[in-house]
Amino acid sequence: MNYQPLRSLVPMLALAAASVPLMAQTATEAPVLRVQGAAEVRVVPDLAVVRLGVANEAQTAQEAQQAVNSASDAILDAVRRVGIDEQNVQTVRLVLSPLYSSRRPGDTQEPRIVGYRASNTVSVRVDDLNLVAAVIDAALAAGANQLEGVSFGLQDDQAVRQQALRRAVDEARGKADAMAAALGVELAGIISVTEEPGFVREPMMEMSRVMAVQSAPQTTVSPGEVAVSASVSIEYRLSEQ
């Protein structure tokens, strides 16, 4: 008679017996409460970024680019005279592209190049909001014919972010207290705290393309407020009252 199968059951029975306390321990773990808190703090901005530029069309690429270069130099000089440091002006887009003839119905010929269009767009950082309108007006008077918009922000948003974060934590704790009281349990401690991605919502002043601006009145700019948000997720361990 072969008793080998009976002997092979011994390790399996030992493993099963060892797993019983683990299952019992899992079943008696303290319940967990997960809550989220979010907050938003609104403040007046102290920074503006103006995006503007110049575009020109000509028969040759060289003529189009030279016209844009001359206008760009005049615009940069005008912006500097307002009081903007040179390091606060940055080229963000420089484009030179061909212009093609229009194809008429029934025309079998391929469109041909009839000219070129060059453009140069810059962003101007303005740390003094009182100068935003002056920057725009000076650039337009110097030859700018593209005005894409003005965005507002904060030079240092760390303090405002921390304020929003504290409010988010307070909201999460308030939710946890209310839920624990309704369930008849107590908060026994914090298991984990996670900061969710926050953001800064900057007001954006959209501007349409400006072509004839020499006699335009002074530009009016309203910065509004910047919204800084924060969000947290907290896990609490619960215990019976």
d(CA 130, CA 83): 11
Q: Is residue 50 part of a domain?
A: yes
- The lowest-confidence range among 77-81, 128-132, 151-155, 197-201 is 197-201
% of the chain at pLDDT higher than 70: 82
Q: Is residue 53 part of a domain?
A: yes
Torsion of CA 188, 194, 200, 201, to 10 degrees: -70
This prediction has a pTM of 0.71
pLDDT band at residue 14 using 50, 70 and 90 as cut-offs: very low
Here the CATH number for the domain that contains residue 142 is: 3.30.70.2970
Q: Is residue 200 part of a domain?
A: no
Residue-level pLDDT at 214: 44
22 or 190: which leads in pLDDT: 190
Q: For all residues of the chain together, what is the average pLDDT?
A: 84
Q: What is the mean pLDDT of residues 184-192?
A: 95
Residue-level pLDDT at 57: 96
Task: List pLDDT tens digits, range 59-106.
Answer: 999 999 999 999 999 999 999 999 999 999 999 999 999 999 887 777
Q: Is the pLDDT of residue 140 over 50?
A: yes
Q: Which residue has the tokens 């839920």?
A: 179
Nearest to 117 by CA among 92, 142, 94, 151: 94
Q: Is residue 176 part of a domain?
A: no
Q: How far is CA 157 from CA 6, 126, 164, 195, 222, in A?
A: 72, 16, 11, 17, 20
Q: Is residue 41 part of a domain?
A: no
The domain in which residue 53 lies consists of 46-101+110-155+205-221
Count structural domains, the chain. 1
DSSP letters of 45-75? --EEEEEEEEEEEESSHHHHHHHHHHHHHHH
% of the chain at pLDDT higher than 90: 69
Q: Which residues pair with 125 in a beta bridge?
A: 49
Q: 3-class SS at 218? A: coil
Q: Is residue 192 part of a domain?
A: no
Q: Is residue 231 part of a domain?
A: no
Q: Is residue 209 part of a domain?
A: yes
d(CA 203, CA 105): 45
